[in-house]
Amino acid sequence: MTSSRSPRFAARIERWPIAGAFTISRGSKTEAVTVIAEISQGGHTGRGECVPYPRYGETPEATLAALRAAQRALRGRPGREGLQRVLPAGAARNALDCALLDLEAKTRGQRAWELLGRAEPRACTTAFTISLGTPEAMAAATAKAANRPLLKIKLGGEGDAERIAAVRKEAPESELIVDANEAWTAADLEHNLAACAAVGVTLVEQPLPAGQDEALARIRRPVAVCADESVHDRASLEGLRERYDAINIKLDKAGGVSEALAMADAAQALGFEIMVGCMVGTSLSMAPAMLLTPQARFVDLDGPLLLAKDREHGLRYEGSTVYPPEPALWG
């Protein structure tokens, strides 16, 4: 048994095959590469998982190195309050923040939301992602998921109007949100938004590149627009009010569930709707994000559904309904 005075840290890279491939405007992948942080103390082990994102210059190896450096800095005093000083927002801090919260919950015999004074998460509907492809390929994938109430459609620029029309034809009853992953331009923005509005899309996520999204403030937006790559933590919220109607909070961007919850509170105070999103990872990545679902208009936590196999004690999914984690998984 680990001494209560001497926490033991561990970190490792894991690889999880994706069922088929996951494709967005920036490329395609066939496996989810995650980094795990573990902290053991007093007979308990807290775990956190992150997904390093190349879009922000992160790699699994660099994230692992950052975790190990942070663990040395925190050794002997592993508290969540010190993480902000030791690590910047990003994947590494997320894994460590979630591991520390999991350890605290297990040590105190409480659930994570009770420790934080937050609302208990309930079963909710998650989006299911349709990867980017030709209109025909996306229509075929949509036909297999047409019974799901909320679909998230990955778009990629040229031909997106045809893609979204093909998807809507196969899923006439589903609520649709689309994610362009920064692939549109100011020149095609209004045309593509009109095409989305024509088929009843509810939300368009990150149509323009981060830092090049000023055009959103100059047009009438016929569909609500959500910031993803343009928003990271609380400090980035205020400048987005004229351009976006909603924000996508991801733990890997915010640097952990602690900052993500504070960010959700700040965003609501500014009048933003909230989406809680994810990278492609296992249920250990999704479980802490469930704490944000009581505040979210849109929940996009389908990462494990895209994997060939999830980890043991994973979240329970019944169709598109996802249930809060059991203590054996996290929190």
Last residue of a domain, one of 115, 136, 154: 115
Co-location of 289 and 177 in the same domain: yes
Domain span holding position 85: 8-115
- Tell me: pLDDT of 76 over 70: no
Q: What is the mean pLDDT of residues 1-17?
A: 79
Categorize the per-residue pLDDT at 47 as very low, low, confident or very high, splitting at 50, 70 and 90.
Answer: very high
Residues 106 and 128 in one domain: no
Q: CATH number, domain at 96?
A: 3.30.390.10
225 by Cβ neighbours in 10 Å (0-12 / 13-18 / 19+) ranks as buried
Give the per-residue pLDDT at 5: 64
**Average pLDDT rounded to a whole number, residues 162-180:** 97
State whether 56 and 185 are in the same domain: no
Domain's final residue, options 78, 98, 115? 115
Q: Give the tens place of pLDDT for each residue, 289-328.
A: 999 999 999 999 999 999 999 999 999 999 999 999 999 9
Residue 253 to residues 50, 94, 134, 279: CA-CA distances in angstroms? Answer: 10, 8, 29, 10
Listed in sequence order, the residues at least 6 apart from 327 whose beta carbon sits closer than 8 Å to its beta carbon are 105, 106, 111
Residue 153 lies in a domain: yes
Last residue of a domain, one of 59, 89, 115: 115
Query: Do residue 185 and residue 102 come from a single domain?
Result: no
The reply to whether 239 and 149 lie within a common domain is yes
Residue 329 resides in a domain? no
Considering the domain architecture, whether residues 94 and 138 belong to the same structural domain is answered as: no
Whole-angstrom distance, CA of residue 34 vs CA of residue 291:
21
Predicted local confidence at residue 210, as pLDDT: 94
Domain total in the chain: 2
Bridge partner list, 156: none
Interhelix angle 91-108/257-269, rounded to 10 degrees, is: 100
Cα–Cα distance, 71 to 7 (Å, whole number): 10
Q: Please answer whether residues 35 and 42 qualify as being in contact, where contact means their C-beta atoms are separated by less than 8 angstroms.
A: no
Catalytic positions are 154, 250
Extract the tokens encoding 181. Answer: 């992953």
Over the stretch 241-265, which tens digit does the pLDDT of each residue have?
Answer: 999 999 999 999 999 999 999 999 9
- Give the number of residues written for the chain: 331
The CATH number covering residue 287 comes to 3.20.20.120
Residue 3 placed within a domain: no
Domain check: are 46 and 152 in the same one? Answer: no
Same-domain pairing of 37 and 182: no
Percent of the chain with pLDDT over 90: 87
Position 330 in a domain: no
Residue 1's pLDDT band, with cuts at 50, 70 and 90, is very low
pLDDT at position 28, please?
79
Can you give the pLDDT at residue 288? 98
What local confidence, expressed as pLDDT, does residue 7 receive?
A: 83
Residues linked to residue 299 through DSSP beta bridges, in sequence order: 276
